[in-house]
Amino acid sequence: MILHELEVRDFRNYKSLQLTLSPDVNIFVGQNAQGKTNILESISMLALAKSHRTHRDSEMIRWEAERAYIAGRLARDERTYTLDLTILPKGKKARVNQVEKRKISDFVGHLNIVLFAPEDLMLVKGGPQARRRFLDVEIGQVSPHYLYNLTQYTKVLLQRNNLLKEAGKGSAKNELIQMLAIWDEQMSVYAAKIISKRVSFLQRLQEFASEIHSRITGEQEELQLHYQSALYRECPSPAELPAYIFDELQKKQKYDLQRGTTSIGPHRDDIEVWINGRNVHTYGSQGQQRTAALSMKLAEIELIRHEVGEYPVLLLDDVLSELDESRQLHLLQSMGERVQTLITTTTTYGIEQFMREKAHVYRVREGVITREGS
Ligand SMILES: Nc1ncnc2c1ncn2[C@@H]1O[C@H](COP(=O)(O)OP(=O)(O)OP(=O)(O)O)[C@@H](O)[C@H]1O
Ligand SMILES: [Mg+2]
């Protein structure tokens, strides 16, 4: 799908803006605090009706203004849609083709995006929590079932942990331990579903991610993703997973009681990221870790295409400067061919020729955007 036009009024530091976008690569160049991220944020509002930066919509209304307005003209499935969103101090109004959508869920989903923000660069380098969150968010986008199982699991986990803490204090022990068995049973069912889904998702993601990673690195690096879970690894067969997890939870009861927390389960699992046969978390350079994070996120583009039949629009906020020149070029070239890409950057070092020949380039300065070479 292609976002052809973007119009913005009184949004963040933009008073009024009208842009015609290239279906290929669009590069927004400007110094810090000029409004580059704000542009991408306005597009993510059109896609998701929520911002990746704030939970308070009113923050996005320009300081002196009463309301913010964002509109876009989108081509998908050989049709054109106009999407617009008015943000008021209290609430927002969303329309598709001038028809108001009272339920935001009827608005969301027309425009699909994949957004890569600077904090996503920590996906590989950071702790396991970020990678579990990545799995939960990405799988959740395509599987409501998964979200349901995850919510149930989280509830049961909380209850089990509360019980462990109580029982640890020594009050009415036997009764509590009997109740624990009931939670263990429920937990093992949800845990098995979550683990199985994550394993199969990661296998699919890895096919795309490894291809993309190889392209960005000029065929120098082979990326592999493994789901890391002691339960999954040691269980004799996938079909036996619920029963196996139940047994393990029972075995761990004494240990868990001492600690007052549940020591095994998908809430402790991780993704291992390997490049050329070695764990990048341990052995990778900063650049390798960042590239791997980018490849994992870009793989989502292909997954979305499989789900909805069209490529989403790719928004890359400030990732170029984190990569060396050759990786920057490979990235721009490989994406521009198939996916409409909007990218922000403070420096254009190393990509000048690409910009001249292949991209729309926009200078961003104090909330004003001018297209270069037009
Ligand atoms: N509601 C608002 N009204 C007016 N200006 C705002 C509002 N919210 C944020 N701004 C301003 O928008 C400016 C630009 O923000 P933005 O995050 O887009 O910068 P950027 O170009 O991405 O910079 P960087 O390179 O540092 O990431 C900030 O200086 C901020 O003060
Ligand atoms: Mg920014």
Q: How far is the CA of 39 from the centre of ligand 1 (A)?
A: 10
Q: Name the band, by pLDDT with cuts 50, 70 and 90, for residue 337.
A: confident
By three-state DSSP, how is residue 226 classified?
strand
Ligand 1, atom 27: closest residue by C-alpha: 32
Question: What one-character-per-residue DSSP string does 95-125 give?
Answer: EETTEEESSHHHHTTSS-EEEE-GGGGHHHH
Nearest to 193 by CA among 158, 159, 143: 143
Least confident interval from 178-187, 314-323, 347-356? 347-356
On whether the CB atoms of residues 2 and 340 are closer than 8 A, the answer is yes
Q: Is the CB of 13 under 6 A from ligand 1?
A: yes
pLDDT, tens only, 3-34: 999 999 999 999 999 999 999 999 999 999 99
pLDDT, tens only, 67-111: 999 999 999 989 999 999 999 999 999 999 999 999 988 898 899
Burial of 116 (0-12, 13-18, 19+ CB in 10 A): buried
Provide the CATH topology of domain 2-112+310-371. Rossmann fold (3.40.50)
In one-letter notation, the amino acid at residue 355 is: M
Domain with CATH 1.20.1050.90 in the chain: 123-283
The atom number, within ligand 1, closest to the CA of 35 reads 18
Domain with CATH 3.40.50.300 in the chain: 2-112+310-371
Question: Is the pLDDT reported for residue 323 higher than 70?
Answer: yes
The ligand placed nearest to the CA atom of residue 62 is 1
Q: Is the CB of 38 under 6 A from ligand 1?
A: yes
Which pLDDT belongs to residue 169? 73
Distance CA 243, CA 259 (A): 24
Whether 72 has a binding-site annotation, put simply, is: no
Task: Look up the CATH architecture of domain 123-283.
Answer: Up-down Bundle (1.20)
Q: Is the CB of 35 under 6 A from ligand 1?
A: yes
Whole-number mean pLDDT of the chain? 93
Q: Is the CB of 33 under 6 A from ligand 1?
A: yes
